[in-house]
Amino acid sequence: MDQALGFVDPQNPTLVYKLHKSLYDLKQAPRAWFSTFSSFFLSQGFLQNKCDSSLFVHKTSSSITYILIYVNDILLIGIDEGYIQSLLSHMHHAFSMKELGDISYFLGTFVQPISQGFFLSQHKYASELLVKAGMVDCKLCATLVSLKMNTTAADSFPCSHPFLCCSIVGALQYLTITRHEISYVVNQACQYMHSPTVGNFSAIKRILRYIKGTLAHAIHFVSSDFRLQAYSDSNWAGDQTDRRSTFGYCVYLGKNLISWSSKKQSTVSRSSTKAEYQSLAHTAAELT
């Protein structure tokens, strides 16, 4: 800890206050921690991934090891048991940490190993979201959107709980990590968070009713080849308000779905061809 810039005591530049309580939420804290942690792994021969700075990779002719960091949660994956144990020994020497064994729960996601791969599920997170929204005992719903759009005058009234509405939508965004089928409707809900209405909140509650009936749904990863393929689609002028198009894509590595997205395009497409080309451009960027 150093004295604050602009308030350095020239006579005692190395002294600091003795704290009786830890300081949290400092801007410098996560940067300082990550800098210390990344410096340690770089000294161990790891390379920092250019696309995801929290991912470190160590590769040799016979093995490969991955380390994924989120603040103080660490996920270690590798095929060389001897090297992993040696690395853990060095980590214990450098940091105060504890090992939790094989992965079962990481950042709100349950990981269930099976004979042919893994199931990734956020059923606990989804259950807590239902409790937060007060919809634990809600009626189930088989679909995310209604085919019959029955709107009333009351649907345009401002929502009486705008903060709760925005909070639920933010939580739903995190749920799309393992629930790709709700990406489109969550994207639609996010577009009205500046001023949510009663109708918007009703659409959000329908999503929660669907989730209530599908808490056990998970994403499945199996052993597969490394053939990369993607699918994309786009509607044309689908938004009735601003006539912008919505595109979506999904990327597979072998049999495994590894990336997906549903977003509204930033500009108005004057033809369905242009809307499709924009969708392909985003998909190609994701593939790259």
Q: For 190-212, how does the pLDDT look when each residue is reduced to its tens digit (9 = 90+)?
A: 888 888 888 888 899 999 999 99
Closest CA to 217 of 245, 178, 249, 168: 178
108-146 residues labelled b (16+ CB within 10 A) or e (exposed): ebbbeeeeeebbbbbbebbeebbeebebeebeebeebee
Domain 1-101: which CATH number of 2.60.120, 1.10.3680, 3.30.160, 3.30.1490: 3.30.160
Q: What is the pLDDT of residue 229?
A: 95
Closest CA to 102 of 117, 113, 93, 91: 113
Give dist(CA 158, CA 142) in Å, integer.
27
Give dist(CA 276, CA 283) in Å, integer.
10
Joined together, the tokens standing for residue 125 give 């997170």
Q: What is the pLDDT of residue 116?
A: 83
Q: What is the pLDDT of residue 25?
A: 63
Where in the chain are the domains? Answer: 1-101, 120-213, 224-287
- What is the spatial order of strands in the sheet that 219-222 belongs to? 105-106, 109-114, 117-121, 219-222
Give dist(CA 86, CA 102) in Å, integer.
17
Helix (H, G, I), strand (E, B) or coil at 131: helix
Q: What is the pLDDT of residue 21?
A: 61
Helix (H, G, I), strand (E, B) or coil at 284: helix
Q: What is the pLDDT of residue 156?
A: 80
Q: What is the pLDDT of residue 152?
A: 67
Give dist(CA 214, CA 210) in Å, integer.
6
Q: What is the pLDDT of residue 153?
A: 63
Please list the pLDDT of the chain residue by residue as tens digits (288 residues).
778 778 888 899 888 877 766 566 666 777 778 888 899 999 999 999 998 899 999 998 888 999 999 888 899 999 999 999 999 999 999 888 888 888 888 888 999 988 888 999 999 999 999 999 999 988 998 888 877 766 666 678 888 888 889 999 999 999 999 999 999 999 988 888 888 888 888 899 999 999 999 998 999 999 999 999 999 999 998 888 889 999 999 999 999 999 999 999 989 999 999 999 999 999 999 999
Closest CA to 243 of 269, 221, 214, 280: 269
Measured between alpha carbons, how far is residue 65 from residues 41, 53, 87, 133, 170 in Å?
12, 16, 10, 41, 33
Q: Mind spelling out the 3-state secondary structure of 137-162?
A: CCCCCCCCCCCCCCCCHHHHCECCCH
211-226 confidence digits (pLDDT tens): 999 998 999 999 999 9
The answer to whether the beta carbons of residues 280 and 232 sit under 8 Å apart is: yes
Give the predicted TM-score (pTM) of the model: 0.78
